[in-house]
Amino acid sequence: MASGSQLEAIKGAKVLMVGAGGIGCELLKTLALSGFQDIHIIDMDTIEVSNLNRQFLFRQCHVGQSKAKVARDAVLKFRPHINITPYHANVKDPEFNVEFFKQFNVVLNGLDNLDARRHVNRLCLAAEVPLVESGTTGFLGQVTVHVKGKTECYECQPKPTPKTYPVCTITSTPSKFVHCIVWAKDLLFAKLFGDKNQENDLNVRSNDGTNLTAPTEDVFERRTDEDPEQYARKIYDHVFGYNIEIALANEETWKNRNKPRPLYVRDVLPDNLIQQNGSLENCVTEESVVSSMLSLGLKNPQDIWSLSENSRIFLEALRLFIEKRQKDVGNLTFDKDDQLAVEFVTAAANIRASSFGISLHSLFEAKGIAGNIVHAVATTNAIIAGLIVIEAIKILQGDFENCRMTYCLEHPSRKMLLMPVQPFEANKSCYVCSETPLILEINTRTSKLRDFVEKIAKNKLGMNSPMIMHGSTLIFEAGDDLEEDVAANYALNIDKALAELPAPVTSGTVLTVEDLRQELSCNINIKHREEFDEEKEPDGLVLVGWIAPTQKDTRLVSNGESTSTAHPAVTEMVENSDEVGIAPAKPGTKRKLSEMSEITDNVHDITPRSSRDVNDQVNPQEVEDDNDDVDDDIVILDENPETRKKKRLQ
């Protein structure tokens, strides 16, 4: 039973929720039932069929509608007298600026990608509003508290490059080639050649969430009178043509995205090529390996096939599975050492990539992309949502001393599945919340301003609208509201070498890089360097005082979860396979920054170790999830440049 002071704090609070997916649905419900009266929700996504197994506020009839708006309507049915304001928009839109954030008492994140998390972290710092972060992956979860001046910020520890992908991104709005690989391997290949009775997010009848006329039969079932070529063409037309047309019917999804192009066999391959599409006599290698490449006379795995060649490989590989490996069909799982499977997945991924305007890749490159599906667990989302609300109430009461970062473990540690840890102090070398400048080693004679903008300001520093100043001279500014003559002037300079700019950038120059929307400012000392190791320093530059992110395995996750790193914890815990185990500490104790520097940060990104490691001691970590499309970004974390308050963009 809540105390009088708790009820007073709850009823008087104005709360911002960012994300209305797996965690967000549970969080909104818990906030409403806990007595919160004024809740605002931001989410740019629309509801997909694959969301319905865990995002319980949504139903089949809601497919294609705004998550934020439907979530609001669902909760108002059982809490009609509270105020819920939905925003079907991207939290990175200009309207959600620092002034917008200042109106709230606390911000609660249920995001699925690193880029958006970093953006919200910076806005909360600038607005001086407490932030409660969260994330889940399978049975693992975490909640962390970030209060300016009292705890570390979200970016005080390096985050691994996110390599987990939400189901809705994979099935509906891919933006990277890896999304297409995961779709081809974990969805299409599994549906065609694995257990046909297993649950699958592929649209088998193309009638989900639309009013369009759809086939009445399961297109993945091969009829007895259907020869392999006919069946292969039917599958091609269904997954690359018909399903894309169905997706295009939801205009809301494509308002801010490039529309995909439906592809049909008749449009890609002439009839004569389809009829000549391979020879059964020439499809087996000397090692008795069935290969569609061999059948079609394609030899070099490092060649990037054209759309026509990918289509022929797709049709031929599917035919060969039926005619040469029929006994395997129904029991197959993807194996990177299975030549025919790799050929099929590469071709399918490239065809889908072509449809969505994504660059094609070679078989050699595609083979190197691997991952495992991590299924969302609704119970984990519910637990994490409850913990978020508990921490939010502490913050609203000003009880910062009792705030805790809590990790949800898969296996009990010291008889506990929930592991509370006292928040950590700010990292004094964090360039986001501290004041330590960075040093950039770069060849100022050959490196262009574009390299600095893309690789440093946007990629490494995570700025969306960077402004670059050399003393009092503005040498670059990004934004849609620039006057034509100003934009034209920047366009003239963008491909000039740094040393050839009107205000030359040479060794010893100090550049100030700012993002006014994030109210983030960073000083970078330039140090000229002639040569770089192509293998160890492929970007041709080195940012000193910035901790490079660690790499994670690729895997598929469901909406509403997360991907990140974690902090030192307390005891044994199953974590990312590439994480270093840390000696357990007593619950509730603080660690020194030096001890924390090698630990990961969000439970969202926690990945179970192999079975032999399950009992090894490790540190609890944070997890994150699904995104907007926000994608796998690089995380940065290190020394902080000097921050200065600037006039905000209007």
CA separation for the pair 18, 90 (Å, rounded): 9
pLDDT one-digit tens code per residue, 42-84? 999 999 877 888 899 999 999 889 999 999 999 999 999 999 9
Report whether pLDDT(213) > 70: no
Lowest mean pLDDT among 69-83, 114-128, 484-498, 556-570: 556-570
What six digits make up the tokens of 131? 């932030």
Contact 82, 38 (CB under 8 A): yes
Active site includes 408? no
What is the rounded average pLDDT of the residues 298-320?
91
Contact 155, 636 (CB under 8 A): yes
- Bridge partners of 522? 513
Q: Which pLDDT score is estimated for 272?
A: 60
Q: Which pLDDT score is estimated for 639?
A: 32
| Residue bearing the bigger pLDDT, 41 or 367 | 41
CA separation for the pair 567, 601 (Å, rounded): 5
Lowest mean pLDDT among 169-173, 273-277, 378-382: 273-277
Q: Which pLDDT score is estimated for 332?
A: 85
Cα angle 78, 34, 135 (rounded to 5 degrees) comes to: 100
Nearest Cα residue to 176 out of 187, 188, 191, 164: 164
Contact 27, 388 (CB under 8 A): yes
Report whether pLDDT(426) > 50: yes
Output the DSSP codes for 477-497.
Answer: E--TT--HHHHHHHHHHTTSB
Contact 373, 556 (CB under 8 A): yes
Report whether pLDDT(294) > 70: yes
CA separation for the pair 375, 380 (Å, rounded): 11
pLDDT one-digit tens code per residue, 546-576? 655 555 544 444 444 444 444 433 333 322 3
Contact 24, 45 (CB under 8 A): no
Q: Which pLDDT score is estimated for 157?
A: 83
pLDDT one-digit tens code per residue, 84-102? 999 999 999 989 999 999 9
CA separation for the pair 101, 292 (Å, rounded): 56
Highest mean pLDDT among 109-113, 402-406, 536-540: 402-406
CA separation for the pair 68, 169 (Å, rounded): 17
Site of tokens 């389809």: 274
Residue 147 confidence class, pLDDT cut points 50, 70, 90: very high
Q: Which pLDDT score is estimated for 546?
A: 63
Binding-site residue set for Zn(2+): 153, 156, 430, 433
Contact 144, 419 (CB under 8 A): no
Cα angle 244, 247, 249 (rounded to 5 degrees) comes to: 115
Nearest Cα residue to 627 out of 575, 564, 576: 564
If you ran DSSP here, which 8-state letter would residue 209 be given? T
CA separation for the pair 167, 182 (Å, rounded): 10
Q: Which pLDDT score is estimated for 281?
A: 52
Lowest mean pLDDT among 85-99, 490-504, 636-650: 636-650
CA separation for the pair 630, 111 (Å, rounded): 10
If you ran DSSP here, which 8-state letter would residue 259 be given? P
Binding-site residue set for ATP: 19-24, 43, 51-54, 67, 112-117
Residue 74's region, left for phi above 0, alpha for psi from -120 to 50, else beta, is alpha
pLDDT one-digit tens code per residue, 355-382? 999 999 998 888 877 444 456 789 999 9
User: Please, is 593 exposed, middle or buried when counting C-beta atoms within 10 Å of its C-beta (0-12, 13-18, 19+)?
Assistant: middle
Active-site residue (options: 25, 124, 168, 180): 168
Highest mean pLDDT among 41-50, 151-160, 216-225, 344-353: 344-353
Lowest mean pLDDT among 116-120, 308-312, 326-330: 326-330
User: Could you give all domains of the chain from N- to C-terminal order, each with its CATH number?
Assistant: 1-156+375-429+549-650 (3.40.50.720), 167-370 (1.10.10.520), 438-544 (3.10.290.20)
Residue 480 confidence class, pLDDT cut points 50, 70, 90: confident
Residue 311 confidence class, pLDDT cut points 50, 70, 90: very high
Mean of per-residue pLDDT scores for the chain: 78
Cα angle 173, 214, 246 (rounded to 5 degrees) comes to: 20
Highest mean pLDDT among 149-163, 383-397, 605-619: 383-397
pLDDT above 90 covers a percentage of the chain that reads 38
What is the rounded average pLDDT of the residues 576-599?
32
Output the DSSP codes for 308-363.
Answer: HHHHHHHHHHHHHHHHH-TTTTTS----TT-HHHHHHHHHHHHHHHHHTT-----H
What is the rounded average pLDDT of the residues 158-180?
76
What is the rounded average pLDDT of the residues 638-643?
34
What six digits make up the tokens of 171? 């099935």
Lowest mean pLDDT among 18-27, 29-38, 189-198, 370-379: 370-379
Hey, what's the torsion of the CAs at 263, 266, 272, 278, to 10 degrees?
A: 40
- Please state whether the predicted TM-score (pTM) of the whole model is above 0.75: no
Report whether pLDDT(429) > 90: no
Q: What angle, rounded to 10 degrees, do the helices at 307-324 and 339-355 form?
A: 140
Give Rg (Cα) of the chain. Answer: 26
What six digits make up the tokens of 191? 């549906």
pLDDT one-digit tens code per residue, 225-240? 888 888 999 999 999 9
Convert 179-198 into a string of H (helix), E (strand) and C (coil): HHHHHHHHHHHHHHHCCCCC
